[in-house]
Amino acid sequence: MSGSFKVAAVQAAPAFLNLDAGIDKAVGLIEQAAAQGVKLIAFPETWLPGYPWWIWLDAPAVTMAYVIPYNLNSVERGSAQDKRLAKAARDNDIQVVMGLSERHNGTLYISQWHYGADGEIISRRRKLKPTHVERTVFGEGDGSDMVVKPTDLGRVGALCCWEHLQPLNKYAMYSQNEQIHIGSWPSFSLYKGGAYALGPELNTAASQMYAAEGQCFVLAACATVSQDMFDMLCDTPMKQQFLTTGGGFARIFGPDGSPMGNVLDEHEDGLVIAEIDLNMISIAKAAADPCGHYSRPDVFRLMFNQKPSPVVMSFENDAARDIAEAAEEQLSVMQQAAAE
């Protein structure tokens, strides 16, 4: 797309464990952004139905009471809630990247669903590797989730939270000529004063460095913890020390790493909005393109398997057939070697 346009990163508390109320709030924020001329809006990690903070506050056995409500309020593809998000994108002529807990059969996934301004799905990706105790709740994505998609606004990709601390993740995304990157984060309000790596300074820097390394615009959406969420989750003095309200640090960065747009107080719900121009990327790329003129493929290369990895594949599936043929060829070579 030529010329400049507006983008927005959401900073807001979710309607915690209430999916339909969360959709209502999401539609309101989409409408609010569109009314200000925004063409692309990004939401935080698992904003629907909220990030499962209890996994950081107590033992898994103690927090099992959250399993059923979290499953029931997670989103399924093709559901009424999915269709409402698509309709909101279409009605407001805006691209929407929603961070959500996706339910598929018996497993949940940390997902980002990208709706086009026409309401059609551009991509549905899953977090490649849930972080630390997130693995007690969520399953894993695969190489097909590491994707950058062409859109009317430019080439758009997305990652969640500490996927931004995985160097190979980032390089795989940069190599696809990403122009606009969506970084979906939960709030930075956990273990304050006790775990610097989980705080706003380091994680905001990760978003900023992603912009500078990849020479792309970064929309870092970030949720907040509301007082209602705090009261529900922190029912003991110990838990009240682990989690605080607020923690919203939504930001937008340019391809040189420069901050853009307005800044909200960490307890404030709202939108960080900036006007971006993709032509600015060429200036940043002229200085350093890590997957182009600033690379050394004779020294370093990344092996990147982008194929889906389903647990069951029909033999009519091309990937399954390729695997079977490769296995047969390897067996033939081994038999020939043994005969000799």
The verdict on whether 45 is a catalytic residue reads yes
Give the largest Cα separation in the chain, rounded. Answer: 75
Integer Cα distance of 176 and 157 in angstroms: 9
Contact 184, 43 (CB under 8 A): yes
Integer Cα distance of 254 and 212 in angstroms: 8
Q: Which residue type sits at 231?
A: D
Q: Which position among 45, 102, 163, 178 bears the catalytic label?
A: 45
The tokens of 296 are what?
């050394």
Q: Which position among 6, 102, 160, 161 bears the catalytic label?
A: 161
* Residue 123 bridge partners (DSSP): 114
Contact 267, 224 (CB under 8 A): yes
Angle at 124 between CA 97 and CA 40, to 5 degrees: 20
Contact 99, 33 (CB under 8 A): no
> Rounded to 5 degrees, what are φ and ψ at 276?
-120, 155
The verdict on whether 127 is a catalytic residue reads yes
The verdict on whether 39 is a catalytic residue reads no
* Residue 150 bridge partners (DSSP): 155
Q: Which position among 6, 25, 39, 127 bears the catalytic label?
A: 127
Contact 183, 164 (CB under 8 A): yes
Please give the positions annotated as active site: 45, 127, 161
